[in-house]
Structure 1
Amino acid sequence: MSNNNSSTGKVLSFSGHEYLRQRLILATLSGKIVKIGKIRSENDNPGLRDFEASFLRLLEKVTNGSTIDINYAGTTILYKPGVITGGKIYHDCGTSRAIGYFLEPLIALAPFGKQPFDLTFNGITNDNVDISMDSIRTVTLLQLKRFGIEEGLELKITKRGSAPLGGGEINFKCPLVRTLKPIQFTDEGRIKRIRGIACCTRVSPQNANRLVDSARSVLNRYIPDVYIYTDVYKGEESGKSPGFALSLVAESTTGALYSAEQAALPGETPEDIGSKTAKLLLNELSKGGCVDSLNQWLTLLLMVLGPEDVSKVRVGNLTAFTIQYLRDLRDFFAITFKIKSDTKNNTLLMACVGVGYINYSKKTT
């Protein structure tokens, strides 16, 4: 399996706007043509939204030779993927969705480009709809390292941008790999520490300290090793809207990572956000597994793209998103997972044999 377009002309058809990004990414990786119809066709305002059209434009920027046909009403897309090129790219994400909406799916393409990805995005860095830049930096990118994607992988937050007006800026760099490593990650270990980032923009820096105190009052009952950094942005670097947010990460003795995050909505206090995020983290920990809910999809995808060898991972409850993702992985790559329930700790052991995906643009060294 290579990242050259090896499509045999068979079109995979889907309907609805849900899972749009993942299907476009899977089509790009597999070289399969995909048709997505009935995009909000029953809605008073049918068709693609501005952020979805923006994501399609971004996909064109990071590939070469892709063609995207959209019907007049915007309710059907035909996507013929090209070759993943990568390189230095700038994209304004707007304010309809946060930067996480755009960056998260691209992380799956980045290791397989012709050139290393060097992306600069403008927009909202923290909100309550999409994954924050903090969670991507401290949890999502570390999933890649297990598969051998390591040196030169970084995410810098140069400006924070709270909702609704954004004004944040990030830079993401990812090295190329020729092939991935298989993984055997089935030992959850015990939680040894919790770290976090309390950030605020265009509000009193005291809000960050209040976030920390509130979260610690909940978490210290669970574990003594809790350290939350405060990240206060001023002036130009603080975006265009006032706001504050908290991102927490728990790490186990075997390197499993679990995340939770919240950004303040109008009227919410730092105390509300601090305790709410801490409780969300404890809830995530109670599910068990070696990968948290937010990052199940990425780990499973990289297992599928891995060498023709068995990869295994332990997960907690599968989210509705992951269940659909498993179906889509089967459709695009003809791979099914062997799933075994472990009743002792209420988790699932998932195993698959990879397709042996090779990035031929990356020369062997």
Structure 2
Amino acid sequence: MIVIDGSEGGGQILRTAIALSALTGESVKIINIRKMRKNKGLGRQHIACVKALKKLCNAEVHGLYLGSEELIFIPSKLSPKDFEIDIGSAGSISLVIQSLLPLTLGINKSFTVKIKGGTDVKNAPPIDYTKNITLKILDKFGVKTELKVLKRGFYSEGGGLVEFKEFPSKIEYIDLVEFSNSNLVEGIAYVQNLDVNIARRMRKRAVDLLNKNRLEGLIKIESSKGISTGAGIVLWNDTIGSSYLGEKGLRAEIVAERAVNFLLEERSSGMALDRYMGDQIIPFLGYTKGKVGVSKITDHTINNIKVVEKFLDVKFYIEKYKNGYLIEGKDV
């Protein structure tokens, strides 16, 4: 049984470990889960991830309860099936999808899961980032999925609903180092239960800033009704993404400025991937022994590398490259 110490990171260590356990058939024991965090142990979103993966590989699981700091996951054979899962409140739907994604490399038939929870919440990728950055990049290399956003959900009520489908996939060699230098920035400015003019103001400020930096902005407006209230903007410039959530008392123009400034910062590295996609690509990089360029090396990236190296016959190497970093996976 593979043993992983989860004390140095958050839920990502758990998500990656359980996903690779289900995919490889290797049992795993995770100890000290989120030990250094204020709210130690498993949260609702982590439990949802484990429950989803448990369903898909008929796993035996011990320690699956709120606040648990130790979990044992003993997988059986992958057997894809359609199901629904409710994270509860505004737990991140995108993070549940992250845990499911590697299974595309091991399933023999497609499956669909409906996930209830938060589509746009702090400290997690917005669902539009997942759709337009994560899934599009993986699609380039053979990972086939479909994502439909049926309802948006914000903190704290949640109420979001997403339909996510995975197809059996064969991943190709990943070689994605330098940014394409595309000048087209696409995006979406959205509001729920708020005046649509807030979204229009976000779009106008974002487009003005992008034009000032000789970039073209093509940003859609979305206005919806739901049980939760919120606003935000998500931008994507080919393989680089950026986002910012609205906050009470924060002007729409400031929300847009922060999203654009982050995009420009990530773009200036010259690397193909932003810092947040950098950690998400690691499990797939482990399978292909490929290479990617990232703007920055985050703690999430380092933690994901440590977990993947325990499950797969791969060793990752990181080196400075231009204004960013090159990550390469090689045979052990």
TM over 0.5: yes
Matched residue type, 2:328 = A
- Is 1:14 equivalent to 2:5 in the alignment? yes
* 2:309 aligned counterpart, secondary structure: helix
Deviation, structure 1 residue 31: 2.3
- The 1:125/1:43 distance shift into structure 2, 3 A limit, reads closer
Q: Which amino acid aligns with 1:183?
A: I
Quote the residue 1:358 is aligned against: none
Structure 2 counterpart of 1:324, from 303, 311, 319: 303
Secondary structure of the equivalent of 2:212?
A: coil
Shift of 1:41: 5.9
Letter in 2 for 1:290: A
| Root mean square deviation, CA, Å | 2.4
- Tell me: CA distance 1:222–1:246, structure 2 relative to 1, closer, same or farther (3 Å): same
Larger radius of gyration: 1
* Alpha-carbon distance change, 181 to 282 in structure 1, aligned in 2, over 3 angstroms: same
Cα deviation for residue 42 of structure 1 reads 7.9
1:100 lines up with 2:91 in the alignment: no
Decide whether the 8 Å contact of 2:6 with 2:35 is kept in 1.
no
**Identity level (%):** 23
Question: How far 1:328 sits from its partner (Å)?
Answer: 1.7
User: 8 Å contact 1:62–1:89 — kept in the other structure?
Assistant: no
**1:187-207 Cα shifts (integer Å, max 9, x gaps):** 423132101101111111111
**Rounded Cα–Cα distance in structure 2 between residues aligned with 1:232 and 1:192:** 27
Residue type of the alignment partner of 1:246? I
Distance 1:149 1:42 in 2: 34
Counterpart selection for 1:244 from 227, 231, 237: 231
1:164 aligned to 156, 172, 184, which one?
Answer: 156
Partner in structure 2 of residue 362 of structure 1: none
Please state how far the C-alpha of 1:141 moved relative to its aligned partner: 0.4
- Counterparts of 1:320 and 1:59 in 2: how far apart (Å)? 24
Q: Is the partner of 1:78 in helix, strand or coil?
A: strand
- The yes-or-no answer on 1:122 pairing with 2:109 is no
Corresponding residue of 1:204: 195
Could you list the per-position Cα deviations for residues 31-78 of structure 1 after superposition, in whole angstroms to 9, with x for gaps in the alignment?
2221122335688975433332232222212222x1111189833211
Q: Who is 1:264 aligned against?
A: 246
Task: Report deviation, 1:182.
Answer: 0.9
Matched, 1:67 2:60: yes
Q: 2:107: which partner in 1?
A: 113
Q: Write the deviation string for residues 295-349 of structure 1: whole angstroms up to 9, x where unpaired.
A: 123323212213xxx523222221111112112222221311243433xx22333
Aligned residue number for residue 181 of structure 2: 190
CA separation of 1:41 and 1:278: change in aligned 2, threshold 3 A: closer
Q: Mind listing any 5+ residue stretches in structure 2 that lack a counterpart?
A: none
1:222/1:107 CA distance change after superposition, 3 Å? same
**2:255 maps to which of 270, 273, 279:** 273
| Aligned residue runs from structure 1 range 1-365, under 5 A | 10-16=1-7, 18=10, 19-39=13-33, 47-64=41-58, 66-70=59-63, 74-150=68-144, 153-177=145-169, 179-233=170-224, 238-251=225-238, 257-306=239-288, 311-342=290-321, 345-353=322-330
Matched residue SS, 1:125: coil
**What amino acid sits opposite 1:244 in the alignment?**
A
Instruction: Report the Cα offset of residue 228 of structure 1.
Output: 0.6
Give the 3 Å change call, closer, same or farther, for CA 132–85 of structure 1 in structure 2. farther
CA contact (8 A) 1:200 1:207 kept: yes
CA distance in 1, matches of 2:104, 2:194: 35
- Shift of the 274–341 alpha-carbon distance from structure 1 to 2, 3 Å rule, reads closer
Single out whichever of 88-97 and 31-40 deviates more from structure 2: 31-40
Residues 161/45 of structure 1: CA separation in 2 closer, same or farther (3 Å cut): closer
* Residue type of the alignment partner of 2:252: P
Letter in structure 2 aligned against 1:68? V
| Residues 187-241 of structure 1, C-alpha deviations (whole Å, 9 max, x = no match) | 42313210110111111111110110121222211124111100111xxxx2212
Unaligned runs of 5+ in 1: 1-9, 252-256, 356-365
| CA separation of 1:75 and 1:140: change in aligned 2, threshold 3 A | same
Mark the CA change 1:11 to 1:224 in structure 2 (over 3 Å): closer, same or farther.
closer
Task: Please say if residues 4 and 307 of structure 2, whose CA atoms lie closer than 8 Å, have aligned partners that are also in contact.
Answer: no
Q: Give the aligned residue type for 2:50.
A: L
Greater Cα offset, 326-335 or 134-143: 326-335
TM-score with structure 2 setting the length: 0.90
Amino acid at match of 1:198: A
Q: What residue identity is the alignment partner of 1:293?
A: R
Distance in structure 2 (CA, Å) of the matches to 1:223 and 1:110: 39
* TM-fit CA distance, 1:261: 0.8
Aligned length: 328
Please give the secondary structure, in 2, of the residue aligned with 1:129. coil
Alpha carbons of 1:130 and 1:41: their partners in 2 closer, same or farther (altered >3 Å)?
A: closer
Kindly provide the CA deviation profile for residues 255-294 of structure 1, in whole angstroms up to 9, marking residues without a partner as x. xx11111111222221221111111211221233112222
Partners of 2:231 and 2:268 in 1: CA distance: 26
